[in-house]
Structure 1
C-alpha cells in the first residue's frame, strides 16, 4: 500500500475518532469529560465540554472532508487542539479525577504519554512531517 493511502486512512481514522469524541462530549460522556476541565479555566465546566466537543466534531469533519490541498492546515489545527487540551489531561492526573476508566494514578499518568502521539498522528497523516 502506498504511503499516501496509509496517510489518508490514518487521517480518516483520526477524523472519525474526533467526531465520535465530540459527539460523546455532547451526549453520553458529558459528565466524564468535566473531570478533565482544569479548575482555572474561566468558563463553566459544562460549557467548556460542549465547546470542546463542537471543536472536535469540526476538526474531525475537516480531517475527513477537506480537500488534500488544505489538509496541512487542518493537521496543524488538530495538532494545536491536542496541545491545547493537554492541560486538562494533566489536571485530571494532578487532581486524581477518575473518568474513562482512568481510575488510578498510573492509568492517568500513562494517558499523558498518548497526547504527543495524537499530535504526531495529526501532523503525519496530513503530511506536515
Structure 2
C-alpha cells in the first residue's frame, strides 16, 4: 500500500462530482421527516435552492463551537444511553400491550412516567452542555 492510498482511505466521506468548471464535493446526511419539513419551509421562504441555502447557512453561520470538558462529554454520553434505555422500555411496554399482557391504562401511566423521566434527562443533558 502506498502513502497516497493510505491518505485516500482517511479522507472524509464525501462524493466527488465533476462539473464542467472543475470538481465539487457532495455532502449528504439523513434527517427526520419533521426536520426535513422545517428545512424545506425555510428553503422555500428564502428563495434559494437547497445548495445555496445550506452554503449560506454554513458560511454566514454565527454559531460558536464550544469544546466540552471530558466530564461534560461523559455525562452527555451516559444521559444519551439512558434515553436509549427509556426508548427500549417503551417498545417493550407497547409490545406487552399489543400481546394483551398490559392494560391500556397501565401502558398510558408507564409511558407518561417515561416521558417525564425523559424530559428530566434532557434537562440534565442541556445543563451539561
TM range (shorter): 0.3 to 0.5
Give the number of the structure whose alpha-carbon radius of gyration is greater. 2
TM-score by length of 1: 0.36
TM-score by length of 2: 0.36
Give the number of the structure whose residues are more often helix, by fraction: 1
